[in-house]
Amino acid sequence: MQVLVRDNNVDQALKALKKKMQREGIFREMKLRGHYEKPSEKRAREKAEAVRRARKLARKKLQREGLLPVKAKPAAGGR
């Protein structure tokens, strides 16, 4: 993976690199490969992820149809 460093601005280049890595799913991959995962654990994790995705999809569908209220996001900078 390559990132251009413009005007010796390393911070901006690091930010761009992190963004690219996040988009590509490299951080998630590193986390998963950090230790051995038994095939049974992998199946259980993937099944749980699928259930989570299905629930989220169903919730979004109900919100679009107006059957569920849309959860309001907290105001930015309200610390």
pLDDT (tens digit per residue) in 3-21: 889 999 999 999 999 999 9
Per the domain annotation, does 48 fall within a domain?
yes
Number of structural domains in the chain: 2
Q: Coil, strand, or helix at residue 19?
A: helix
CA distance 45 to 39: 10
Band the pLDDT of 77: cuts 50, 70, 90: low
Tokens of 7: 């005007």
Q: Is a pLDDT exceeding 80 seen at residue 75?
A: no
Where do runs of H (alpha helix) occur along the chain? 10-24, 26-32, 39-65
* pLDDT for position 78: 58
Same-domain check for residues 28 and 47: no
Q: Is a pLDDT exceeding 80 seen at residue 76?
A: no
pTM of the entire predicted model = 0.60
Mean pLDDT value across residues 33-37:
92
Identify which of 50, 1, 5 has the alpha carbon closest to the alpha carbon of residue 26. Answer: 1
Domain containing 46 equals: 38-68
